[in-house]
Chain A
Amino acid sequence: MKDSRAAAAPPVVPVDAKARWSAAMEKARLRDAEFTTVSGVPLEPVYGPDDVATDFERDLGWPGEFPFTRGVHASMYRGRLWTMRQFAGFGTASQTNERFKFLLDHGQTGLSVAFDFPTLMGYDSDHAHSIGEVGQVGVAISSLEDMETLMGGIPMDRVSTSMTINGPAPILLAFYIACGEKQGVDPTKLRGTVQNDILKEFQAQHAWLVPPDPALRMITDTMAYCSEHVPQWNTISISGYHIREAGSTAAQELAFTLANGMEYVRRGVAAGMDVDTFAPRLSFFFDSHLDFFEEICKFRAARRIWARKMRDVYGAEDPRSWMIRFHTQTAGVTLTAQQPENNIVRTALEALAAVIGGTQSLHTNSMDETLSLPTEKAVKIALRTQQVLAEESEVAHVADPLAGSYFIEAQTNRLERDAEAYFGEIDRRGGVVPCIEAGYIQREIHRSAVEYQRAVERGRKRVVGVNCYVEDREAHPDIELHRIDPAVEKEQGARLASLRQRRDGNRAQSALDDVREACRDGGNLLERFIAAAHAYCTLGEIGAVLREEFGEYVEPKIL
């Protein structure tokens, strides 16, 4: 609707307004010496047309249309709300199975599995390295049998499942596929995502199994197998989350994540696949930090950069290959142990940024996660936060509602430029893998983490309850804690010992031999892992074969 007053009324802004504004700003007493984003990027006090060289058709366009700055679906949330997907997992498979059912009963629409450290590193629960760690930060899954317990009573053809696992991702996916088959669900019906993003493990999260090159081969094997047999599965979730949580800035998160994405695309093409056969199944995962506007701009810039790269550099022709579909999690690092109830507010702001940024799915953190794993009550508040946004705030009705704001467009352009500068630097250093091996990316992240910490300690960056509005009460208030019973470790060990007794030992051994052979002759590893899963080979047994064949990764020293 046109505003009919515009033509008739005299100009309300005098011509010398900008000069007068500048003069007023010169004289104004400001409450701080500098104003920056949470990433430390200086901000102007106000933005105008001179700050933005955005071309509507070229840079923004329409939702569901290239370059997707405004979202990947034409109808965005009018068609379907984002998936509310709370990451959960602890203790034994049966305890986590109960939590999954609790979340599904309260309106959650997808599952997201958190594994414990032994599982993340490819060790069985009874390995020496696993002592004290079993079931602590996630669920312990050492075999197909554990997976069957985890998914017991949950119809695998009707739920989509995201699994946060990387080094041993294809092995856990094999357990999932085999578990589906045991439930009578054909692999073509399975929907979900396996994180499977090993590059960011070397850069930030640090749960790996074998060195970069064989790890990348397992990923291309997974892409190749799934494009044929498990077509609804997202074979990778290229993750900025851990890079950001490790201390990066928004621009570094954006740049390193997309650089990793492009590396996977190059590897897939080099393995002989047509880019359009696998690129539509690439998914992404970002952090939503506390700087509301910078985060929204990051999501918009991510979509635009990826679309341009995929179409113009990697020659993808299928529009689905151009789209970044992504999951978002609110920033765990912004939660404070002091006055933890305030975390509900932080998480709500971060969730709002993710929704305005057009995320496809969302995890909201619980207020108590700086103290322990979340309690049921805290998890429910976190889920309800999303439901309030979706049902009450009316923010989901209009796609990309901040587009056209001088500030938003200037920041989106700035983030795109910063990311491009990093792409250039990574190329000059020989690509992502050489950058990891030389510790370049790790060092960049570390530098930002230290700068942020200094900003907080010098009071340049304020955190409520930590360096301002501090209360006398000790850091840990009377908040209920969710603890893992140490008995979990013993139970898991006993279950594994019994499984090794009960299974057909010859069949298990021959399945492991097949895995070893594929390591050497280049056969598809995921296919062998599925056979090994059915033979009840354990995660640790399969992982040991891979370590023997491919060696172990030694991280570069960066300190």
Chain B
Amino acid sequence: MAQRKIKVLVAKPGLDGHDRGAKTVATVLRDHGMEVVYTGLHQTPEMIAEVALQEDVDVVGLSILSGAHMSLFPRVRKELEVRGMGHVLLTGGGIIPAEDMAELEKEGFTRLFGPGTRTDDIAEWIQTAVEKSRASEGV
């Protein structure tokens, strides 16, 4: 049986208007055969989790270049858990200092990507991570 397409929600939490990276990544993931939903700008953590639930996504990718990552990333995770979406693969990127990335990765953000990342690397990483988690769930 054919594998279900990987479904990714690319989201812009907070007031940050810098969407070049988010939209570029969304386009590249689509080129890699994934189904991509882009939230648009200025989303609250609640709005993002709600879309993730409605769309039943495998992955949520957050993009933040506003410095608000230490506040917004954990709030999105909490809202996902509240909606029973704790299993979703959480990732993201933006202007995030290395030590903050390390701390967020410890808190369950599997992997975060900084400036200069190859978008193909992000796509390949998602592909592998989702396949691994599907295999472990026996999907």
Among A120, A474, A475, the one with the most B-chain Cβ atoms within 10 Å of its Cβ is A475
Contact with A along B60-86 (1 / 0, CB 8 A): 000000111011100100000000000
| A476 on interface, CB distance cutoff 8 Å | yes
Binds A, one of B9-17, B50-58, B124-132: B9-17
- CB-CB under 8 A from B27, the residues of chain A are 446, 450, 559
**In the complex, are the beta carbons of B41 and A475 less than 8 A apart?**
no
B95 is contacted by which of A118, A247, A370, A483 (Cβ under 8 Å)?
Answer: A370
**In the complex, are the beta carbons of A137 and B66 less than 8 A apart?**
yes
For chain A residues 93-145, which have a beta carbon within 8 Å of chain B? 117-118, 120-121, 123, 128-133, 136-137
Asked if A372 meets B97 with Cβ closer than 8 Å, knowing A136-B66, A559-B26, the reply is yes
Bound-state CA distance A474–B68 (Å) is 23
A484 is contacted by which of B24, B42, B67, B72 (Cβ under 8 Å)?
Answer: B67
- CB-CB under 8 A from B97, the residues of chain A are 371-372, 476, 481, 483
B74 to chain A, nearest CB (A): 10
**In the complex, are the beta carbons of B70 and A337 less than 8 A apart?**
no
Bound-state CA distance A130–B114 (Å) is 24
A440 to chain B, nearest CB (A): 15
| A207 on interface, CB distance cutoff 8 Å | yes
Total contacting residues, chain A, CB less than 8 A: 46
| A449 on interface, CB distance cutoff 8 Å | yes
Asked if A206 meets B17 with Cβ closer than 8 Å, knowing A446-B23, A449-B24, the reply is yes
B67 is contacted by which of A137, A205, A246, A336 (Cβ under 8 Å)?
Answer: A137
**In the complex, are the beta carbons of A131 and B71 less than 8 A apart?**
yes
Asked if A133 meets B68 with Cβ closer than 8 Å, knowing A120-B15, A371-B97, A559-B27, the reply is yes
For chain A residues 221-267, which have a beta carbon within 8 Å of chain B? 245-247
**In the complex, are the beta carbons of B24 and A450 less than 8 A apart?**
yes
Bound-state CA distance A247–B36 (Å) is 21
Among B36, B68, B71, B120, the one with the most A-chain Cβ atoms within 10 Å of its Cβ is B68
Asked if A117 meets B16 with Cβ closer than 8 Å, knowing A132-B72, A457-B120, A476-B114, the reply is yes
Asked if A370 meets B115 with Cβ closer than 8 Å, knowing A133-B15, A450-B27, the reply is yes
Contact with A along B107-123 (1 / 0, CB 8 A): 00000001110111000
Asked if A205 meets B68 with Cβ closer than 8 Å, knowing A337-B116, A475-B98, the reply is no
**In the complex, are the beta carbons of A555 and B71 less than 8 A apart?**
no
| A410 on interface, CB distance cutoff 8 Å | no
Asked if A372 meets B67 with Cβ closer than 8 Å, knowing A453-B119, A457-B119, the reply is yes
Bound-state CA distance A469–B94 (Å) is 23
Bound-state CA distance A337–B67 (Å) is 16
- CB-CB under 8 A from A247, the residues of chain B are 20, 24
- CB-CB under 8 A from A129, the residues of chain B are 14-15, 42, 44
B114 is contacted by which of A132, A337, A555 (Cβ under 8 Å)?
Answer: A337
Q: Return the chain A residue nearest B10 by Cβ.
A: A559
**In the complex, are the beta carbons of B95 and A372 less than 8 A apart?**
yes
Bound-state CA distance A481–B98 (Å) is 10
Bound-state CA distance A8–B102 (Å) is 74
- CB-CB under 8 A from B75, the residues of chain A are 132
| A338 on interface, CB distance cutoff 8 Å | yes
Bound-state CA distance A325–B119 (Å) is 38
**In the complex, are the beta carbons of B24 and A559 less than 8 A apart?**
no
| A466 on interface, CB distance cutoff 8 Å | yes
Contact with B along A453-478 (1 / 0, CB 8 A): 10001000001011000000011100
- CB-CB under 8 A from B28, the residues of chain A are 450, 453
**In the complex, are the beta carbons of A132 and B68 less than 8 A apart?**
yes
Q: Return the chain A residue nearest B14 by Cβ.
A: A133
- CB-CB under 8 A from A481, the residues of chain B are 97
Bound-state CA distance A474–B101 (Å) is 13
| A27 on interface, CB distance cutoff 8 Å | no
Asked if A559 meets B20 with Cβ closer than 8 Å, knowing A121-B15, A132-B71, the reply is no
| A373 on interface, CB distance cutoff 8 Å | yes
Among B15, B44, B75, the one with the most A-chain Cβ atoms within 10 Å of its Cβ is B15
Bound-state CA distance A465–B115 (Å) is 12
**In the complex, are the beta carbons of A206 and B44 less than 8 A apart?**
no
| A557 on interface, CB distance cutoff 8 Å | yes
Bound-state CA distance A370–B21 (Å) is 13
**In the complex, are the beta carbons of A371 and B17 less than 8 A apart?**
no
Contact with B along A166-199 (1 / 0, CB 8 A): 0000000000000000000000000000000000
**In the complex, are the beta carbons of A206 and B41 less than 8 A apart?**
yes
Bound-state CA distance A118–B17 (Å) is 11
Bound-state CA distance A466–B19 (Å) is 21
Q: Return the chain B residue nearest A489 by Cβ.
A: B71
A77 to chain B, nearest CB (A): 34
A471 to chain B, nearest CB (A): 12
**In the complex, are the beta carbons of A245 and B20 less than 8 A apart?**
yes
A461 to chain B, nearest CB (A): 13
For chain B residues 30-52, which have a beta carbon within 8 Å of chain A? 36, 38, 40-42, 44
Asked if A336 meets B119 with Cβ closer than 8 Å, knowing A118-B15, A137-B66, A372-B95, the reply is no
- CB-CB under 8 A from B42, the residues of chain A are 121, 129, 206
- CB-CB under 8 A from B119, the residues of chain A are 453, 457
A138 to chain B, nearest CB (A): 10
- CB-CB under 8 A from A246, the residues of chain B are 19-20
- CB-CB under 8 A from A449, the residues of chain B are 20, 23-24
For chain A residues 312-369, which have a beta carbon within 8 Å of chain B? 333, 336-338
Q: Return the chain B residue nearest A445 by Cβ.
A: B20
A481-B97, A558-B23, A559-B27 are known; give 9 further A-B pairs, CB within 8 A. Answer: A132-B14, A136-B68, A206-B18, A245-B20, A246-B20, A457-B120, A484-B67, A555-B40, A557-B40
8 residue pairs A–B, Cβ–Cβ below 8 Å: A131-B71, A132-B71, A136-B68, A338-B116, A449-B24, A475-B116, A559-B27, A559-B38
4 closest Cβ pairs, A-B complex = A132-B71, A206-B17, A136-B67, A117-B15
